[in-house]
Amino acid sequence: MGNLFKSLTIGKHTIKYPIFQGGMGVGISWDELAGNVSKEGCLGIISAVGTGYYKNMGFVDKILSSKPFEAINFYSKNALNEIFKNARKICGDKPLGANILHAINDYGRVVKDACEAGANVIITGAGLPTNMPEFTKNFPEVALVPIVSSAKALRVICKRWSERYKRVPDAVVVEGPLSGGHQGFKYEDCFKPEYQLENILPQVVAESMQWGSMPIIAAGGIWDRNDIDAMLSLGASGVQMGTRFLGTKECDAKAYQQILPHITEDDIELVKSPVGYPARALKIGVMQRLKEGNAPKVQCISNCVSPCQRGKEAKKVGYCIADSLGKGHLGNLEEGLYFSGANGYRVKEILSVKALVDELTQR
């Protein structure tokens, strides 16, 4: 047995294996998961979403009022610092990333906070981060990686970045519609062949070559070594995997350990989200309550994402994404929201991160 992978360089940082762990929000990929993924030679990615839930730091738990709390309570700088500090205790000085949704309120502040906390790589999706370099001017060592779902999106980002900031991305994640959480496609397009990862990846690779050399990271529905090899053969330099890391002992949202081994393919569906994108989730918790007609009352307590308009969109779809994901992190199986990629039903055994990385990288 031996590793056949080449190392992957992103900006000034080199990762032993060309595998990103997806940045899964509100307590799924925090210090324990991301720290252990980086320790094992992949890129562990800390989600900056909902850090106020981390040991109740910064977030006023369970308190509701007529006036919503501001985003600063939901995206807690103190908690993010603590998460990075604890992850560093696990992985040392190995590269460590942060995933920050462009759709959040206070995006610029959270990017700066992540840089100050010690992120080596910033990954951003859920919108086109055309202003991403604006917030990292004082951190030239931090690599910037946008997430796109088309060659057109990459073209727009590269054009804006080159004109405004005289730079292009250090790498790009191209995500197909089989991923967990929010999709970069319209609902109906998620099922069309032309939008599947294997079809959009070569287009994004071709577009990237117009802007110089940048690694392309394929994401969405990648399950095993065969899938990784297939993506590399299509021109990718590496892959990003979220759902596989959901099914690990180190996943920070421990409820997934009891949920995933028992779900079926029919338990995973695309749902409407207050963020304005379709999202792939499990038919349990708040999703089941919605079907029963007895979902918890929607009250905006965090002002978390700008497209939601302080709870307006949440009331339309029937649930608050911040509150529901927070309850999922806390293990509330009755009211929590649980995301999963299309392959979540294939998790039959909860592995350690080390065992999973060995499975993916060794022959």
Using CA atoms, how far residue 193 sits from 19, 178, 199, 227, 277, in Å, is 25, 12, 8, 17, 19
The residue count of the chain comes to 363
Q: 37-41, 129-133, 157-161 — which is least confidently predicted?
A: 129-133
CA atoms of 353 and 123, how far apart (whole Å): 21
pLDDT digit string (tens) for 141-200?
Answer: 999 999 999 999 999 999 999 999 999 999 999 998 888 887 788 888 878 899 899 999
Tokens of 338: 């649980």
Determine the pLDDT at residue 20. 96
Answer yes or no: is pLDDT of 64 > 50. Answer: no
Mean pLDDT for the stretch of residues 337-358: 93
Determine the pLDDT at residue 70. 63
Tokens of 16: 């032993």
Mean pLDDT for the stretch of residues 285-312: 73
Residues 6+ apart with CB under 8 A from 240: 19, 20, 21, 22, 173, 175, 217, 218, 219, 222
Determine the pLDDT at residue 309. 62
Tokens of 276: 């304005």
Answer yes or no: is pLDDT of 57 > 60. Answer: no
Which tops the pLDDT comparison, 311 or 357?
357
| Secondary structure of the chain in HEC code, one letter for each residue | CCECCCCEEECCEEECCCEEECCCCCCCCCHHHHHHHHHCCCEEEEECCCHHHHHHCCCCCCCCCCCCCCHHHHCCHHHHHHHHHHHHHHHCCCCEEEECCCCECCHHHHHHHHHHHCCCEEEECCCCCCCHHHHCCCCCCCEEEEEECCHHHHHHHHHHHHHHHCCCCCCEEEECCCCCEECCCCCHHHHCHHHCHHHHHHHHHHHHHHHCCCCEEEECCCCCHHHHHHHHHCCCCEEEECHHHHCECCCCCCHHHHHHHHCCHHHEEEEECCCCCEEEEECCCHHHHHHHCCCCCCCCCCCCEHHHCCCHHHHHHCCCHHHHHHHHHCCCCCCCCCECCCCHHHCCCCECHHHHHHHHHEC
pLDDT digit string (tens) for 104-119?
Answer: 778 888 999 999 999 9
The rounded percent of the chain whose pLDDT value lies above 90 is 54
Give the pLDDT band of residue 229 (cuts 50, 70, 90): very high
CA atoms of 88 and 245, how far apart (whole Å): 19
